[in-house]
Amino acid sequence: MTATTDGSTGATLPTRAAAASDTALTTPEAAGVHQAAAHAVRRATDFLLSQQDAEGWWKGDLETNVTMDAEDLLLRQFLGIRDEETTRAAALFIRGEQREDGTWATFYGGPGELSTTIEAYVALRMAGDTPDAPHMAKASAWIREQGGIAASRVFTRIWLALFGWWKWEDLPELPPELIYFPTWVPLNIYDFGCWARQTIVPLTIVSAKRPVRPAPFPLDELHTDPSVPNPPQPLAPAASWDGAFQRIDKVLHAYRRVAPKRLRRAAMNTAARWIIERQENDGCWGGIQPPAVYSVIALHLLGYDLEHPVMRAGLQSLDRFAVWREDGARMIEACQSPVWDTCLATIALADAGVPADHPQLVKAADWMLGEQIVRPGDWSVRRPGLPPGGWAFEFHNDNYPDIDDTAEVVLALRRVRHHDPERLEKAIGRGVRWNLGMQSKNGAWGAFDVDNTSPFPNRLPFCDFGEVIDPPSADVTAHVVEMLAVEGLSHDPRTRRGIQWLLAEQEPDGSWFGRWGVNYVYGTGSVVPALTAAGLPGSHPAIRRAVAWLESVQNDDGGWGEDLRSYKYVKEWSGKGASTASQTAWALMALLAAGEKETKAVERGIEWLAATQREDGSWDEPYFTGTGFPWDFSINYHLYRQVFPLTALGRYVHGEPFADRLRGEKPPAEAKGS
């Protein structure tokens, strides 16, 4: 019998995958597929165990696009701390991401994107690349063809305004007095999603101060007409929402000239206190890079010098977002995902047959238990009476635990046989109770907040990039429903409301929209296992429509894939794209949950995963299958290509997890979290 190496102790432990591979199946063809799957499981298990940190967590690189790297250099230039080594390393990475046509994209294989290309170009100018260098001339020509700087998004023009390359008066106004709006007033800061809120508050200070540092060089080559670098923008019709908010922005510009100085100063100081109160123990804000960058700039403008403890910790936290590559290039992560990666890795290993009391799973559980958040955060503004108990996505983000991570951590912990079961049950109980308390009024769940659905924030002229609200989504709701089902709460009225919402959200073609993963394959791969865990039979019409859709979009090579363009061009790209390991796994997880194990579609998918596995047990995946903002901000989670294939293969070999529990076994009472 084959054994799996325990990366912590060097001991070898037999796995269920090894035992399963010794079992003859009914047909030679099925036996061949099963043996290939079991072999792939063993190799993938060994690889994933080898990637665990000594403290118990897993974390893959989180790759986005070069705006992170460009803005890091611009920040350092603004603060006067840019150094040659950092600049050289960042430029090496940025150059390496340039496409043949001179542009930069926001995801692998995607089209050139104007604002990203502008920011990359400016960063390379800072690194010493000259405008007449072939790669720079190609980029600037493309930028002018697309309308130049004037056609770029607001955030790009804010960065340029910091150096006088754009006029502050030609940017949307963000008054710091916004901090005083009570929660019942439209456009108060809690109407925005937590990621937007943490960015907007510091930017109100930047907008009020309108700083300009001397530009190190002109950017005339990026304007369509250098003699008119800031051409006036036409207004939308007054009767439209866009037109109304554009005119409100003009009123705010006029208010700026008459705003009482004492009120404005007090508002900026209140905003500064809000920012400082939300700085995490590691110095970051929200565990993500953009709010940290803008918070550092805002506080610096209010007189906080770089040696102030808040500033020093903030700058040190930004250094931790840097990933140094073997070639000397330096990539900046938008955030880091250890909690998410660890719970998904734990689920994958357990479903692949690693024993529930394996030392590395226990160590992972210990680490996750230590990461539970037991103090209120911004979510409590809408749920003041709800006891805390969630988990965040990052190492440090106690202000913003999220519902998705909490559900998946509970599912991971439930798979581990821990040496302190009482501690485990109490943690699970707190997590379940918190998730139930974060249900929105429509019966579904968003990622971070309750009922964060105001229609107004997305209308602001300032908000021209990505999602700024956090409405409920099918993938998050599905993960919560699946977790509640495992906890014996399938028939709880709150769970049933979530199920009904999911059924109502199914697309006409049988798929579900994926808010946090790409896209309909992810949504469907999340929802089907949740519905079947909650008791819907494989024969249910919604399940049959989902199965039919997945089978219809399977690629000729047996895998599944979906391009980011499905967010923008739904009909042409829904379920369409090069096969990837993670998306193939999501489709298989849905089909297996629906009882389709013996079908040709599943066999072909399993064969594709086994055939594309590398010798070391890993998979390669250059394509972006994660989502920050649909279409606008895409993510390549480097661990997705490892954890999801192993989960799917494990479930093919061993069957669905928690089958006995879902057939009637009840969890301990503490876990029900009423």
Q: What is the distance between the alpha carbons of residues 588 and 652, in angstroms, rounded to a whole number?
A: 9
> How many residues are recorded in the chain?
674
3-state secondary structure at position 473: coil
**Residue 663 neighbours by CB under 8 Å, 6+ apart:** none
Both tokens of residue 166?
């754009």
Q: What is the distance between the alpha carbons of residues 271 and 269, in angstroms, rounded to a whole number?
A: 5
Q: What is the distance between the alpha carbons of residues 114 and 117, in angstroms, rounded to a whole number?
A: 5
Residue 351 bears catalytic tag:
no
What single-letter amino acid sits at 167?
K
Q: What is the distance between the alpha carbons of residues 334 and 220, in angstroms, rounded to a whole number?
A: 30
The DSSP 8-state label assigned to residue 643 in this structure reads: H
Q: What is the dihedral of CA 338, 343, 349, 350, to 10 degrees?
A: 160
Element (H, E) at 331: strand 330-332
The DSSP 8-state label assigned to residue 386 in this structure reads: P
Q: Which of 249, 366, 404, 405 is catalytic?
A: 404
Q: What is the distance between the alpha carbons of residues 102 and 224, in angstroms, rounded to a whole number?
A: 17
Q: What is the distance between the alpha carbons of residues 200 and 77, in angstroms, rounded to a whole number?
A: 22
Q: Are 82 and 664 in contact (CB under 8 A)?
A: no
Element (H, E) at 49: helix 28-50
Sign of the alpha-carbon dihedral angle for 605, 414, 382, 394: negative
**Residue 419 neighbours by CB under 8 Å, 6+ apart:** 362
Both tokens of residue 280?
């995490």
Three-class DSSP labels, 201-264: HHHHHHHHHCCCCCCCCCCHHHCCCCCCCCCCCCCCCCCCHHHHHHHHHHHHHHHHHHCCHHHH
Q: Could you report how far apart the first and last alpha carbons of the chain are, in Å?
A: 44
Location of structure tokens 């249910």? 540
What single-letter amino acid sits at 554?
Q
Both tokens of residue 58?
């897993």
Q: What is the distance between the alpha carbons of residues 210 and 352, in angstroms, rounded to a whole number?
A: 55
Q: What is the distance between the alpha carbons of residues 311 and 45, in angstroms, rounded to a whole number?
A: 42
Long-range CB pairs of 250-256, under 8 A, 24+ apart, other chains included: 252/173, 252/175, 253/169, 253/173, 255/173, 255/175, 256/173, 256/175, 256/208
Q: Show which residues are catalytic.
A: 404
